Amino acid sequence: MKILIDENLPRRVQNLLEGDDAHHVVNLGWQSIKNGELMQLAFDAGFEVFLTADKGIPHQHNLQKIGLAIVVLRIRNTDLESCRRVLREFVFDPSELVPGKVIELSIDS
């Protein structure tokens, strides 16, 4: 599964996604690109999932047109340990990650 990690998450999150083809926007030179354009770039580059901590994405974009599954980490702190805690509870099941679907993961509730 090809996953794009948003710049609001630490770059080392890609190391937590073993077995997946994960890339951080900074490593691709895509930092500071607005979300709509970024998600179009991701789709065009063959990404299937956009991983972010931006809780507003589901309300700011027409997700059916984006062509990516969106995984939102609902965490108070975006440090690596918080990301690790929430991601270790989640297994990326390809049947759940379909274009336009939003999955929210939380360790705070």
pLDDT in tens, 72-97: 998 888 899 999 988 887 766 677 88
Q: In the chain, how many domains are there?
A: 1
Q: Which residues contact 65 (CB under 8 A, 6 or more apart)?
A: 100
pTM for this entry: 0.88
| pLDDT tens-digit readout, 1-36 | 899 999 999 999 999 887 779 999 999 999 989 878
57 SS3 class = helix
Residue 58 lies in domain: 2-106
What pLDDT score does 91 carry? Answer: 67
Alpha helices in 22-102 (DSSP H): 25-28, 35-44, 57-60, 63-66, 80-87
* Domain CATH for 66: 3.40.50
What pLDDT score does 12 carry? Answer: 93
Burial class (CB in 10 A: 0-12, 13-18, 19+), 40: middle
What pLDDT score does 101 carry? Answer: 85
Q: How far apart are CA 2 and CA 23, in angstroms?
A: 8
| Strand ranges for 1-109 from DSSP E | 2-5, 21-24, 49-52, 69-74, 102-106
